[in-house]
Amino acid sequence: MSLLVVGSLGIDTIETPFGRVENVLGGSATYISTAASYFAPPVRLVGVVGDDFPGEYLQFLENREIDLEGLQIDQGGKTFRWGGKYHYDLNSRDTLFTELNVFEKFTPIIPESYRKTTYVCLGNIDPDLQRKVLEQISRPRLVVGDTMNFWISGKMDSLKKTLKLLDVLILNDAEAREMTREANLVKAAKSIIRMGPKTVVIKKGEHGAMLVTEQTIFSAPAYPLETINDPTGAGDAFAGGFVGWIARTDDLSESNMKRAVIYGSTLASFCVERFSLDRFKDLTYLEIQDRFREFRELSRFDEDLTSS
């Protein structure tokens, strides 16, 4: 089944308590499409970069079987750049700079060959742009969308229009609370479902992720890692693993959605082990399957009522 990813591509400068890197590959579409490529290649990507975007980064994406027909390269323009510094617990960060550059006037143009794509994943771009993408797609089977606090606080009316077009919304716990003014995440998810999406996935960082529908609440743990260097892009890697697995299996059942959450958490757990997308340079499908099985064991237990 075909999968389309639309979002940002960027060049990041990242500092954590465990190191610092400059001018590394970043952007929501980059992380989503890279994670998804392990399950549903070739992944179709739509985004924009300047002519300063390094050729080695284009080669990395092509090596991951990411179709770049939809990538706009703005001659004479500069690529979106972001810099951030994480605090010691890695749950909070300071944005040091944001340079939108060519991304400021990005208008997604979906190539004709992409317009019958079965599965669509919209990164956390302007909700107006998310709707423009969907206007160019012919009856996708599933639309997964992401958002961020910037759009929640600044363009909520537009975001509500987009939510009516989404099947699945993925967001983090702080964003869910901000969007709904609900402290309880289950209540927040149910409130978002009433806005349009049939399924809401709330990422809770080191506390895992939760999938909520009208009928189901499913909570998955986070993988207990000993080495975490850089949390940048982990949420996007989660989204890529989630939608990539669904596209691979072409199965929208509730049980498969739960598996997709675990696969999303699996890809996110690999992402944070190194800076930028470096872990994906040597990550294998076998390693993903091994960690998926370890995830299942984390939550499995034998019930023995007689022993008490």
The question of whether 89 is a catalytic residue gets the answer no
Residue 121 maps to a domain: yes
**Average pLDDT of the chain, as a whole number:** 94
What is the domain range of residue 102? Answer: 3-298
275 has pLDDT over 80: yes
Residue 174 maps to a domain: yes
pLDDT band at 174 (very low <50, low <70, confident <90, very high): very high
pLDDT band at 21 (very low <50, low <70, confident <90, very high): very high
When pLDDT is averaged across residues 167-190 and rounded to a whole number, the result is 96
The pLDDT value recorded for residue 91 is 80
Residue 30 maps to a domain: yes
Q: How many folded domains does the chain comprise?
A: 1
- Which of helix, strand or coil describes residue 299? helix
Residue 268 maps to a domain: yes
When pLDDT is averaged across residues 19-27 and rounded to a whole number, the result is 98
Cα angle 62, 65, 67; round to 5: 75
Residue 305 maps to a domain: no
Residue 307 maps to a domain: no
**CB 116: neighbour CB atoms within 10 A?**
12
Angle between helices 28-36 and 254-271 (to 10 degrees): 120
The pLDDT value recorded for residue 250 is 97
Q: What percent of the chain is modeled with pLDDT above 90? A: 87
Please state the pTM of the whole predicted model.
0.95
Residue 308 maps to a domain: no
pLDDT band at 304 (very low <50, low <70, confident <90, very high): low
Name the E strands within 165-208: 168-172, 199-203
The pLDDT value recorded for residue 256 is 97
160 has pLDDT over 70: yes
299 has pLDDT over 80: no
Phi, psi of 8 (to 5 degrees): -95, 150
306 has pLDDT over 80: no
Domain CATH code at residue 86: 3.40.1190.20
Which one of 236, 278, 282, 302 is the catalytic residue? 236
Residue 260 maps to a domain: yes
More confident residue, 67 or 147: 67
Residues contacting residue 34 through CB under 8 Å, at least 6 positions apart:
61, 64, 66, 237, 240, 277, 280
